[in-house]
DNA sequence: TAACAATAGTTGTCATGCTAATTATTGTAA
DNA sequence: TTACAATAATTAGCATGACAACTATTGTTA
């Protein structure tokens, strides 16, 4: 089928498979976390005190999605909201100690998966790959 | 933020933006269809008489998702299920005339979006891009 | 042939993604 | 200062994606 050669199809498929591998890895490590929760947890961990809007921008997700993911991270005890003192519409989001431990535990796995993906791909091909991705993003920006 | 340079992040972002552009295009054309519905409709149109399992494989989606997308396509009158005569567990899925018209209307738009994405990307870079995607898919297969 | 395994499709549950609408707060301009 | 616009976050509704459980049918094997 012709669609299987189209680049959007290949991208969807690669992403989906990577997501499945990640999810399986988290499961086998006995950690109950989704890939999306991981992404947001990592951003919060890296940013400490970001507002939800800022997290929204980094994660490239929309506000309602980020609200709910943070709700779930709070339920799991990995993250907490603190009312901003300057702007009462805002929260500052931080990781708890458990959240930090979770990042420390999962980050090596995530890095390993990322490496697994690019096995047998040359440095120069990877550079081209990233450049094309950047161009695609630009081309769809307007 | 370091995560923004990682290839999985760039891939997610490129896909998401492309999806948004597609959705906007469909909306402006006055067609009420999601990108996922488009993918499945196109596969059905191209395959005529495929079973849902086969569609599942082509679309790289899972069975419940395909069931529900087909439900929606049936509701919109673009597709119908016909019980298979050899195997009563199966349906054969076909496009209606309206479905065919819809494909004829949308396909040029989809192709144009695909072209828009790769503007200013050389032939050779695009070849490398696809090769890397194929390798990624392989690397995450096991 | 009878019991069991495998397959095709559906349904339910939960999480995510998108859109629109809502609340609370802050910024701005007459 | 008051009225209005903009911003931050939430809520609700719908579609999709992943997973588990289920029904109906077909295949296989003792």
- pLDDT tens digit sequence for B96-130: 999 999 999 999 999 999 999 999 999 999 999 99
Dump the DSSP string for B86-110. S-TT-EEEEE-HHHHHHHHHHHHHH
pLDDT, position A142:
66
Q: Which residue has the tokens 């990781």?
A: A95
Across the interface, of B1, B6, B140, the residue whose CB is closest to A21 is: B140
Of the residues B2, B4, B6, B8, the best mutation for testing chain A's interface (the one with the most A CB atoms within 10 Å of its CB) is B8
Under CATH, what is the fold of the domain B30-108? Answer: Arc Repressor Mutant, subunit A (1.10.10)
Q: Inter-chain contact B7–A118, Cβ cutoff 8 Å?
A: yes
Which bin fits A60, alpha (ψ -120 to 50), beta or left (φ > 0)?
A: left
Give residue A104's Cα distance to chain centre: 15
- The rounded distance, in Å, linking the Cα atoms of A68 and B127 is 39
What is the spatial distance, in angstroms and rounded to an integer, between the CA atom of A123 and the C1' atom of D22? 49
pLDDT, position A5:
80
What does pLDDT average to over chain B?
A: 95
Residues of A in contact with B17 (CB under 8 A): 136-137, 140-141
Please count the CA atoms within 13 angstroms of the CA of B54 that sit on its side-chain side. Answer: 14
Please state the rounded mean pLDDT for residues A125-139: 95
Domain ranges of chain B: 30-108
Answer yes or no: are the C-beta atoms of A39 and B29 closer than 8 Å.
no
C-alpha torsion sign, points A132, A137, A141, B3: negative
What is the spatial distance, in angstroms and rounded to an integer, between the CA atom of B130 and the C1' atom of C18? 29
Of the residues B50, B65, B139, the best mutation for testing chain A's interface (the one with the most A CB atoms within 10 Å of its CB) is B139
Confidence of residue B141 (pLDDT cuts 50, 70, 90): confident
- The rounded distance, in Å, linking the Cα atoms of B3 and A43 is 8
Confidence of residue B52 (pLDDT cuts 50, 70, 90): very high
- pLDDT per position as a tens digit, B20-45: 999 999 999 999 999 999 999 999 99
CATH architecture for residues A2-111: Orthogonal Bundle (1.10)
Q: Which H or E run contains A92? A: strand A91-95
DSSP state of B142: -
What is the spatial distance, in angstroms and rounded to an integer, between the CA atom of B21 and the C1' atom of D23? 41
Q: Inter-chain contact A17–B140, Cβ cutoff 8 Å?
A: yes
pLDDT at A20 over 70: yes
E-strand ranges in B30-118 read 79-83, 91-95
pLDDT, position B142:
66
């Amino acid at each position: 089928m012709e669609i299987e050669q189209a680049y959007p199809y290949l991208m969807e498929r690669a992403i989906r498979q990577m997501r499945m591998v990640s999810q399986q890895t988290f499961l086998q490590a006995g950690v109950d976390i989704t890939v999306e929760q991981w992404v947001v947890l990592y951003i919060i961990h890296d940013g400490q005190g970001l507002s939800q809007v800022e997290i929204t921008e980094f994660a490239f997700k929309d506000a309602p999605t980020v609200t709910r993911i943070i709700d779930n991270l709070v339920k799991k005890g990995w993250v907490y909201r603190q009312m901003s003192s300057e702007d009462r519409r805002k929260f500052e989001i931080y990781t708890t100690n458990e959240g930090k431990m979770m990042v420390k535990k999962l980050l090596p796995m995530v890095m390993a998966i990322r490496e697994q993906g690019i096995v047998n791909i040359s440095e120069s091909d990877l550079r081209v790959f990233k450049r094309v991705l950047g161009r695609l993003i630009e081309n769809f920006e307007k």
